[in-house]
């Protein structure tokens, strides 16, 4: 069996994929993972996940160009300037004229 | 070359990285397997010259450090064979090809370790030469290998320090101890100059073309000389090549051309210790076969 190994370096940090170990069962996988990814105190926790349990998604089509979900979907510069002109606050804005 | 392969080549040459499940040309996969397998073999065979010295190490501290280094190298072999397995060649097939002499391992592991001076020279200079090569793999176009190399390079840095410490203890000791290091260096210089391979131009080196490594052979050797010749000389040691000098104008190291035929002979199994090392690996594989059977039977 192949187990994917994820390791956490310090408390509060995310678990990151470190590599994999091949082992006949979970007991051996634990021993191998401890030896290979933890013997120098470089990890404070390990996750062992059978490779067959990993469900990968690698395609993210964007047929409808849903830019309104993201910050790059909004260009407010021109409108903000217009609003400031109308309110007479253009000079007070950070950066002055610009 | 078909369009898809051409696009793949352009992708890796512009710094793109490939994952296990991505499409890749057959030639790329075959070259990856051969290269990474040889690296795994070298880690595994590389512990044998040092293993000979565990019992003879001069102090308990040295025994422990040497044992830890050996454990690291075997661990590297396991990580690397795992990468090869995911590319399609099982570890048992790698070990079969290793003990039958079909697959290669690095030139420096075909030589005997005669004295404790050899252990210092190996841990310091052979590992330093290896780090130069391994650093050129951190940007490997095959991402799973590049990721594993990060961990390996991190562990190797302790090995170099351990080697340097052994060397410093000897060169600050008696004249006899100093001589031990000089004599070992005299024997190891040629294999060290062979280490990075013949000076094939990077653009003609398939390993560079596919961006499996990010540096040509001669560039790696120059980097090694630049970093380590001054460190060797400052200890009062003499490098056994009267032609070795740095061309001040070009910044390029000049040296006596190594015998490349000899390198070819050594890595194809005709080195001074090749037979003995392979015989030992064969023996230990037969000796522990029952463990594998028991473990697999129990897990089944």
**For position A38, which CATH number holds?**
3.10.20.520
Is residue A70 in a domain? Answer: no
Is residue A18 in a domain? Answer: yes
Q: What is the pLDDT of residue A28?
A: 93
Annotate B54-90 with DSSP letters as a single string. TTT-SSHHHHHHHHHHHHHHHHHHHHHHHHHHHHT--
Q: What is the pLDDT of residue B117?
A: 96
Is residue A33 in a domain? Answer: yes
Is residue A20 in a domain? Answer: yes
Segment B102-121 shows an average pLDDT of 96
Q: What is the pLDDT of residue B26?
A: 97
Q: What is the pLDDT of residue A96?
A: 58
Task: Enumerate the residues of chain B whose CB falls inside 8 A of the CB of residue A58.
Answer: 21
Q: Does residue A9 contact residue A45 with C-beta atoms inside 8 Å?
A: no
Residue A95 has pLDDT above 80, yes or no: no
Q: Is B82 within 8 Å of A25 when comparing Cβ atoms?
A: no
Residue A92 has pLDDT above 60, yes or no: yes
Q: Is A36 within 8 Å of B21 when comparing Cβ atoms?
A: no
Segment A51-80 shows an average pLDDT of 87
Task: Enumerate the residues of chain B whose CB falls inside 8 A of the CB of residue A32.
Answer: 78
Q: Is A22 within 8 Å of B296 when comparing Cβ atoms?
A: no
Q: Is A25 within 8 Å of B299 when comparing Cβ atoms?
A: yes
Band of pLDDT at residue A64, cut at 50, 70 and 90: confident
Residue in B with minimal Cα distance to A34: B75
Q: What is the pLDDT of residue B250?
A: 95
Is residue A89 in a domain? Answer: no
Lowest mean pLDDT segment, chosen from B75-89, B144-158, B232-246: B144-158
Q: Is B85 within 8 Å of A56 when comparing Cβ atoms?
A: no
Task: Enumerate the residues of chain A whose CB falls inside 8 A of the CB of residue B85.
Answer: 22
Residue in B with minimal Cα distance to A42: B151
Residue in A with minimal Cα distance to B72: A36
Rounded-to-integer distance, Cα B11 and Cα A66, Å: 28
> Which residues form the domain of A41?
2-53
Rounded-to-integer distance, Cα B4 and Cα B243, Å: 48
Is residue A12 in a domain? Answer: yes
Lowest mean pLDDT segment, chosen from A87-91, B18-22, B259-263: A87-91
Q: Give B1-33 pLDDT, tens digit per residue.
A: 899 999 999 999 999 999 999 999 999 999 999
Segment B202-224 shows an average pLDDT of 96
Rounded-to-integer distance, Cα B166 and Cα B113, Å: 15
Domains of chain A: total: 1
Residue in B with minimal Cα distance to A22: B82
Q: What is the pLDDT of residue A91?
A: 85
Rounded-to-integer distance, Cα A49 and Cα A6, Å: 8
Is residue A65 in a domain? Answer: no
* Residue tagged 């290669």 (tokens): B104
The pTM of the full predicted model, rounded to 2 decimals, is 0.88
Q: What is the pLDDT of residue A58?
A: 86
Q: Which of A2, A4, A19 to mutate to test the interface with B (most CBs of B within 10 A)?
A: A19
Q: How many CB pairs under 8 A join A and B?
A: 31
In DSSP terms, which residues pair with A16 in a beta bridge?
A7
The structural domains of chain B, ordered by start, are 15-299 (1.20.1260.10)
For chain B, the residues whose C-beta falls within 8 A of a C-beta of chain A are 21, 71, 75, 78-79, 82, 85-86, 91, 144, 147-148, 151, 155, 295-296, 298-300
Segment B41-70 shows an average pLDDT of 95
Please name the member of A20, A24, A39 whose beta carbon is closest to the beta carbon of B299.
A24
Q: Give A31-56 pLDDT, tens digit per residue.
A: 999 999 998 889 999 999 999 999 99
Q: Is B151 within 8 Å of A25 when comparing Cβ atoms?
A: no
Residue A97 has pLDDT above 70, yes or no: no
Beta strands in B241-290 (DSSP E): 245-247, 252-254
Residue B231 has pLDDT above 70, yes or no: yes
Is residue A90 in a domain? Answer: no
**In terms of pLDDT, which residue wins out, B178 or B151?**
B178
**ipTM of this predicted complex?**
0.78
What's the CA angle centered on B136, arms B132 and B139, to 5 degrees? 150
Q: What is the pLDDT of residue A44?
A: 96
Q: What is the mean pLDDT of chain B?
A: 95
Q: What is the pLDDT of residue B247?
A: 96
Q: Which of B67, B76, B78 to mutate to test the interface with A (most CBs of A within 10 A)?
A: B78
Residues 16-75 of A with CB under 8 A from B: 18-22, 24-25, 28, 32, 35-36, 39-40, 56, 58
């Amino acid at each position: 069996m192949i187990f994917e190994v994820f390791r956490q370096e310090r408390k509060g940090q995310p678990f990151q994929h470190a590599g994999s170990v091949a082992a006949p069962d979970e007991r051996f996988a634990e021993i191998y993972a401890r030896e290979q990814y933890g013997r120098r105190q470089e990890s404070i926790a390990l996750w062992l996940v059978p490779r067959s349990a990993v469900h990968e998604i690698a395609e993210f089509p964007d047929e409808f160009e849903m830019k309104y979900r993201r910050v790059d979907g909004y260009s407010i510069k021109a409108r903000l300037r217009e609003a400031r002109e109308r309110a007479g606050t253009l000079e007070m804005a950070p950066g002055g004229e610009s | 070359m078909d369009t898809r392969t051409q696009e793949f080549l352009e992708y890796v040459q512009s710094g793109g990285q490939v994952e296990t499940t991505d499409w890749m040309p057959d030639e790329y996969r075959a070259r990856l397997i051969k290269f990474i397998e040889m690296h795994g073999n070298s880690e595994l065979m590389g512990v044998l010259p040092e293993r000979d010295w565990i019992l003879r190490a001069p102090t308990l501290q040295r025994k422990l450090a040497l044992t830890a280094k050996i454990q690291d190298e075997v661990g590297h072999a396991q990580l690397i064979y795992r990468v090869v397995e995911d590319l399609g060649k099982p570890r048992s097939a790698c070990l079969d090809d290793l003990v039958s002499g079909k697959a290669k391992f690095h030139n420096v592991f075909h030589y005997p370790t005669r004295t404790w001076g050899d252990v210092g020279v190996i841990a310091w200079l052979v590992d330093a030469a290896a780090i130069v090569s391994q650093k050129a793999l951190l940007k490997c176009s095959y991402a799973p290998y590049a990721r594993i190399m990060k961990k390996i390079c991190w562990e190797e840095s302790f090995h170099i320090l351990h080697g340097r410490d052994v060397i410093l203890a000897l060169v600050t000791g008696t004249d006899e101890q100093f001589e031990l290091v000089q004599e070992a260096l005299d024997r190891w210089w040629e294999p060290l100059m062979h280490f990075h391979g013949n000076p094939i131009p990077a653009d003609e080196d398939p390993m560079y073309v596919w961006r499996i490594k990010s540096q040509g052979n001669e560039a790696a050797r120059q980097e090694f000389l630049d970093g380590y010749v001054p460190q060797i000389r400052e200890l009062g040691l003499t490098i056994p090549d009267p032609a070795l000098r740095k061309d001040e104008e070009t910044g390029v190291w000049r040296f006596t051309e190594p015998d490349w035929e000899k390198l070819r002979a050594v890595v194809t199994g005709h080195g001074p210790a090749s037979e003995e090392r392979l015989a030992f690996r064969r023996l230990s594989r037969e000796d522990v076969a029952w463990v594998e059977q028991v473990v697999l039977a129990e897990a089944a």
